[in-house]
Amino acid sequence: MPYMTNMFGNAASRNHAFGWQAEEAVDYARDQIAALINCSPKEIIFTSGATESDNLAIKGVFEMYASKGNHIITATTEHKAVLDTCKHIEKIGGKVTYLQVNAEGLIDLNELENAITDKTILISIMYANNEVGVIQPIREISAIAKKHGILFFTDGTQAVGKIPVDVEADGIDLMAFSAHKMYGPKGVGALYVRRKNPRVKVTAQMDGGGHERGMRSGTLNVPGIVGLGKAAELAKQDMESDNARISAMRDRLERELTTIEESYVNGSREHRLPHVSNISFKYVEGEGLMMGVKDLAVSSGSACTSASLEPSYVLKALGLSDDLAHSSLRFGLSRFTKDEEIDYAINHVKEAVAKLRELSPLWEMFKEGIDLTTIEWSEH
Amino acid sequence: MAYSDKVIDHYSNPRNVGTLDKSKASVGTGLVGAPECGDVMRLQIEVDENQIITDAKFKTFGCGSAIASSSLATEWLKGKSVDEALAIDNMAIVEELALPPVKIHCSVLAEDAIKSAINDYRVKNGLPALELAKTHH
């Protein structure tokens, strides 16, 4: 907080004491973050958040390594910050392969390897998915990338600070993450850029004063960075004990909620973040269900609020039918979640599902044994 | 997104939830929408010999606004003549429930359900189905 109220120095102003103080604070944060992901502090580039980091990594590699090739491999379940950046790459002459995932949400390593061409310069696969929490086989992916001399970038937004991430052991060349996903402030994040074995460079996407080793110009967000550093330190310290508790609560929540008839857990249960659960309650629409449990922090794969009416592209990529995707809820737990809150969630979701099924013509048809796929639904 | 008080009221206390006997000639059933679109409404009316709607029931799979739109429609239908029911416009539902632009399709679906139920009733009773003005989705 003092960096917002009475310590006004600019971390890039090296010729006066106010600047030194700010620089010292930023350097301290860099150390805290480096300790969390096992890298050198010099390998951390501060940004405004994971979206900017995703953009900087993909566009920056595409430009920097243009002489080597123009092909990028990613997956259909990536965050929009990656997918939309890849679409941009395609517009400016790049080629992108979008790998499918299986029903568990995992990419196929053979497909990955088969997609590699002599023009491939980057593999961009997220560490863990934001909607279903599925963790990709990061070490196997990086081994393939290394074997073919291709850089490996991972969007680590959901994983960093939540599960152990070690850029050395995991073989990661670039990694995006943000502070607010690990209980830190919003509007600040970072991009890890490997400095040796190999030395990776990205072309800056913002021109200016050459901050952050020339890769990201712009005055540093000192209060945000201090917050990110502290969040990283706390995450490192508490992760293990937090996760044991959080995953036990998540498992209990899931066990109870799947006693509801016609409910299904989406995505791999084995390769998954400890705090995420994504469940479909068939014949109940997700947004309607959210309204019934509005004091719970849940989200739905039914994007009825968007004009498109398209349900979650992630759940569809896992092979869920549109109607099951519309019936999904994503539960996110945190270190602040209490057992009583899990009890509350279990009771309220059960009640709301039962109530909405009483209202649901689809549930009535299902109970009468009518096959919903045989009905001619009106165009809509 | 904030829901209006009226949407919350209809969602929390939906009126006229249920099922009428669709085999009866006096009952018209409208089933509109599709599960893959995240909205299905079933609206039923019971019509007496004077062409007055004596009962209306609904069941809806959908968001709060879809549930509220169909619940409100059943309230409005009861006691109306079939001709009056045909005149119900989706924009009246939008106004009554203060639906935001992204939820207008819920009111359109409710209007479609009303018209579809009336047509079902007409066809069952030997009347030609009405050519309904195309609504926008």
Which stretches of A192-330 are DSSP H helices?
222-257, 286-292, 313-317, 322-326
Between vectors from CA A33 to CA A27 and to CA A34, what angle results, nearest 5°?
A: 85
Q: What is the per-residue pLDDT for A299?
A: 85
How far is the C-alpha of B31 from the C-alpha of B68, rounded, in Å?
A: 16
A93 touches chain B (CB under 8 A): no
Contact A360 B32 (CB under 8 A): no
Task: Please list the ranges in chain B whose pLDDT falls under 50.
Answer: 136-137
Question: What ipTM was assigned to the predicted interfaces of this complex?
Answer: 0.92
Contact B32 A291 (CB under 8 A): no
Average pLDDT over residues A251-265: 97
Q: What is the per-residue pLDDT for A300?
A: 84
Average pLDDT, chain A: 93
Query: pLDDT digit string (tens) for A169-220?
Result: 999 999 999 999 999 999 999 999 999 999 999 999 999 988 999 999 998 9
Q: What is the per-residue pLDDT for A305?
A: 47
How far is the C-alpha of A127 from the C-alpha of A60, rounded, in Å?
A: 20
Residues on chain B touching A372 (C-beta within 8 angstroms): 35
Contact B61 A283 (CB under 8 A): yes
A304 touches chain B (CB under 8 A): yes
CATH of the domain at A248: 3.90.1150.10
A165, part of any domain: yes
Instruction: Find the Cα–Cα–Cα–Cα dihedral A248, A253, A258, A263, rounded to 10°.
Output: -120
Helix pair angle (A80-91, A50-64), 10° resolution: 30
Average pLDDT over residues A336-361: 96
A339, part of any domain: yes
Residues on chain A touching B42 (C-beta within 8 angstroms): 361
pTM attached to this predicted model: 0.91
- Residue A222 and residue A255 share a domain: no
Q: What is the per-residue pLDDT for A15?
A: 66
Closest residue by Cα to residue A193 from A61, A319, A90:
A61
Query: pLDDT digit string (tens) for A234-256?
Result: 999 999 999 999 999 999 999 99
* Cα nearest neighbour of A363 on chain B: B61
A379, part of any domain: no
Nearest beta carbon to residue B64 from set A288, A309, A361: A288
Q: Strands of A71-75's sheet, edge to edge?
A: A44-47, A189-193, A174-178, A151-155, A120-124, A71-75, A95-99
Q: What is the per-residue pLDDT for A136?
A: 98
Query: pLDDT digit string (tens) for A12-35?
Result: 666 666 777 888 999 999 999 999
Q: What is the per-residue pLDDT for A80?
A: 95
Q: Name the residue range of residue A248's domain.
A: 239-374
Residues on chain B touching A305 (C-beta within 8 angstroms): 1, 102
Query: pLDDT digit string (tens) for A37-62?
Result: 999 999 999 999 999 999 999 999 99
Handedness of CA B120, B122, B126, B127 (dihedral sign): negative
Task: Work out how many domains chain A is built from and give that number.
Answer: 2
Confidence bin at A166 (pLDDT 50/70/90): very high
> At which of A197, A220, A235 does a domain end?
A235
- Residue A256 and residue A210 share a domain: no
Of A112-116, A362-366, B91-95, B99-103, which range is least confident?
B99-103
- 3-class DSSP state of A281: strand
A307 touches chain B (CB under 8 A): yes
User: What residue ranges define each of the domains in chain B, with the CATH number in brackets?
Assistant: 5-124 (3.90.1010.10)
How far is the C-alpha of A355 from the C-alpha of B87, rounded, in Å?
A: 32
Residues 6+ apart with CB under 8 A from A41: A27, A30, A31, A33, A34
CATH of the domain at A165: 3.40.640.10
Report the percent of chain A where pLDDT is more than 70: 94
